[in-house]
Amino acid sequence: MTRIRIEVDGDQVPGLAGQTIAAVLLADGRAAWRRTRTGRPRGVFCGIGACFDCLVTVNGLRDVRACQRRAADGDKVDLQEDDRD
């Protein structure tokens, strides 16, 4: 099994090749990594790409579903907040 590392908000987080970004974050003990318009925390909810609760920014690209995207070694993952109105 190939070990990988991704950078999450500046932290080095270990994972396995083939895991989704959500799986890497959950296995690292993180439950929440996004905030909604009113500031409520969110992580994985549906796990199958339907709810969009798990969005992250990957290598500068916003709005990537962490439960759908496989993590690649060296990925830079930034947590994101919805725009407040």
Partner 1 sequence: MTEVLVVGGGPAGMAATLAARRHGARVVLLEAGDDVGGQYWRHLPHGRADPGERHWHHGWDRFLALRAALRDDADCEIVTGAHVWSVDRRDGAPPLVHVVVGEPDGQGREPRTYDPAALVLATGAYERTLPFPGWDLPGVFTAGAAQALAKGERVAVGRRVLVAGAGPFLLPVVSGLLRIGTEVAEVVEAARPAQLAAGWATRPWELLAARRKAGELAGYARELAARRIPYRTGAAVVAAHGTDRVEAVTVARLTRQWAPVPGTERRIEVDAVCVSHGFLPRTELATAAGCAVGADGAVTVDARQLTSVPGVLTAGELTGIGGVDLALAEGEIAGSVAAGGTPAPGAVRERAVFRRFAARLAAAHGIRPGWQAWLDDGTVVCRCEDVTAGALRRTAELTGSRGLRSLKLTTRAGLGLCQGRTCGRTVEDLLTGADGVGLLDPGRTAHRPIAIPVRLGELSDSTRTRNREDLP
Q: State the Cα–Cα distance between residues 57 and 55, nearest whole angstrom.
A: 7
Residue with the CB atom nearest ligand FES in the bound state: 67
Q: Are 58 and 64 in contact (CB under 8 A)?
A: yes
Contact window for ligand FES (CB under 6 A) among 3-11, 27-35, 43-51, 69-77: 43-51
CB of 62 to partner 1, least distance (A): 9
Q: Is 45 in the site for partner 1 (CB under 8 A)?
A: yes
- Alpha-carbon torsion (57, 30, 28, 44), positive or negative: negative
- Residue 11 or 63: which CB sits closer to ligand FES? 63
Candidates 7, 70, 78, 79: give the one binding partner 1 (CB under 8 A): 70
Q: Is 31 in the site for partner 1 (CB under 8 A)?
A: yes
Reference 11, options 83, 81, 77, 84; nearest CA is 77
